[in-house]
Structure 1
Amino acid sequence: MVYIDGSNFYFSIKNTFQSKVDIGNFCKKLIGNRDDLVQINYYIAPVDQIQNPEMYAKQQSFFDKLREVNNLKIIFGRLERRKKDGEYYFVEKATDVNLALDIVLDAQSNKYDEAFLISNDGDFSGAVKAAIERFSKNINYVAIGTNKTISYHLKKVSSKTLKINNKFIQDLILV
């Protein structure tokens, strides 16, 4: 199983490598030459079509490309509109909760022995720790970024940390 925090993945790749990558091939390269990739779960909150039609169209095109990836499932959260100091902004909701729950519930259901978590969000450390300690699973933390941006807490609790570097990503970059 591969669990991808979509927004975190996008910005980590963009900020670290100034590019976009082929997600399907990224996951294949990540797990190596094994046939046991059960599923890729991609967690994201869709943009509201009325609030931002241009971004909505781009995101829908991206979702269409994701749907072409074998064994990839998109799990949607939501964006909530907030206002602060007269300015509107959006907050992603339910995405992280869905991902954390799936790590633990999939471990409990024995859907995997080994999983990969692609996110730098240390809030997932509790779910990772539970899957490892309660269900004897191996959870690999896929760290994308600098030593400043990767998660100390995920490094601490994960079975293994895999740091993505230029060499790993060079043939996965989309033009």
Structure 2
Amino acid sequence: MVKVITYVDGFNLYFGLRDSGYKRYYWLNIRTLAQKLLMLNQELIMTKYFTSRIIDAPEKEKRQSTYIEALQTLCDFNDFELYYGHYRRDPFRCPRCRNTSEIPNEKMTDVNIATEMLLDAVNNRFDIALLISADSDLVPPIKAIKTHYPEKRVTVAFPPRRYSADLEHAASSSFHISRAKIAQSRFPERVMKTDGFVLERPSEWS
């Protein structure tokens, strides 16, 4: 079997779903989605999900925390891992009114993904790296893997309404994730944690 590790850019996937009007699919089982993207001769070794905790938006923070808790239940299977970047408040000057304010910007996700992809290639953990993202900042690690480990392949799966020509050209292959695959990969309405606590899909995600 061909060994596959999936690397998921959480916010790139989220914004693709949002821009497609797929709010009902936010409650997404990432491990199931990764499994459904495989070919028959491929084996999912690990799924790695990369995100950052939202700041300055209490209701969004609450919904995200519930979702992350649901994802954490997947870690019990030893083939799912969560990685965190962070948000940083950067100064922003309005070009019209010239006032300065702060806006939150996500940091470290692309660095974390690149690091994990390269480490896994060095340690021969995959035959194929499946990257769910359209962030062109990830072109350098893809090129590095293809240069130094030409026997390995990197496939890019573009989220809905997301695309990068640079990523497509750098990758061994690429495709767009279909709505059908996403629709088939949702968590049940209620997810039970190991301590018996039941997580419910946020009512806004319907």
Please report the TM-score for the alignment, with normalisation by the length of structure 2: 0.75
**In the alignment, which residue of structure 2 is the partner of 1:10?**
14
**Higher mean C-alpha deviation, range 34-43 or range 85-94:** 34-43
**In the alignment, which residue of structure 2 is the partner of 1:125?**
139
Q: Distance in 1 between matches of 2:179 and 2:58?
A: 34
More helix by share: 1
Unaligned runs of 5+ in 1: none
Structure 1 or 2, whichever has the larger Rg, is 2
Q: Distance in 2 between matches of 1:164 and 1:52?
A: 29
Q: CA deviation at 1:24?
A: 2.1
**In the alignment, which residue of structure 1 is the partner of 2:64?**
59
**In the alignment, which residue of structure 2 is the partner of 1:144?**
159
> Root-mean-square deviation (CA), in Å?
2.0
Q: CA deviation at 1:78?
A: 0.9
Q: Is the Cα–Cα contact under 8 Å of residues 85 and 107 in structure 2 kept in the other structure?
A: yes
DSSP 3-state at the match of 2:43: coil
Q: What percent of counterpart residues are identical?
A: 25
Q: Distance in 1 between matches of 2:57 and 2:138?
A: 30
> Match for 2:45: what amino acid?
V
Cα pair distance change 1:52/1:14, threshold 3 Å: closer
Q: Distance in 2 between matches of 1:17 and 1:169?
A: 13
Q: Distance in 2 between matches of 1:55 and 1:22?
A: 19
Q: Distance in 2 between matches of 1:150 and 1:37?
A: 24
Q: Is the Cα–Cα contact under 8 Å of residues 6 and 42 in structure 1 kept in the other structure?
A: yes
Aligned length: 171
Q: How does 1:1-175 map to 2 (within 5 A)?
A: 1-16=5-20, 18-19=22-23, 20=25, 21-33=28-40, 36-48=43-55, 51-69=56-74, 70=77, 71-85=79-93, 86-136=100-150, 137-146=152-161, 149-172=162-185, 175=206
